[in-house]
Amino acid sequence: MLNFSEIGNTIKKLIEVRIQILKKDIEEELSSIVTRITILILMVIASILVLLFASLALAFYFGELTYSNYLGFLYVALIYLLFFLILYIIKDQRGLQNGIQNVLKKFVFFSKNNKKTND
């Protein structure tokens, strides 16, 4: 009638299959997160290079206007100092922190629901 060893083997196989599915899902999610983090790092590096060369160009432009290269670089440094001071003043605002956290969460950790709607 009922073969308990067959039922036990079937349950064991179902559990093994479920574990394999979970492993694949975790592997897929982890690789997806690592890929998005890598893209984010590359975007940051590219942004830094753009900022560097734009700063040099602006410094030389100010140097041409003032007929003094060191004044051009000094003006760019003062612009960055002003930017730093503004960031220092607003660093503790919760709205700014929450906004940055939300952007990073959406970019790095977007859920499967978002993937399904984008596909």
| pLDDT score recorded for residue 2 | 65
| pLDDT score recorded for residue 74 | 96
Separation between Cα atoms, residue 64 and residue 119, nearest integer Å:
52
Instruction: List pLDDT tens digits, range 4-41.
Output: 888 888 899 999 999 999 999 999 989 988 998 899 89
DSSP secondary-structure letter at 6?
Answer: H
Q: Which domain holds residue 14?
A: 4-118
**Count of domains forming the chain:** 1
Instruction: List pLDDT tens digits, range 75-118.
Output: 999 999 999 999 888 888 888 888 888 888 887 777 555 555 55
| pLDDT score recorded for residue 3 | 79
Instruction: Give me 101's structure tokens.
Output: 């956290």
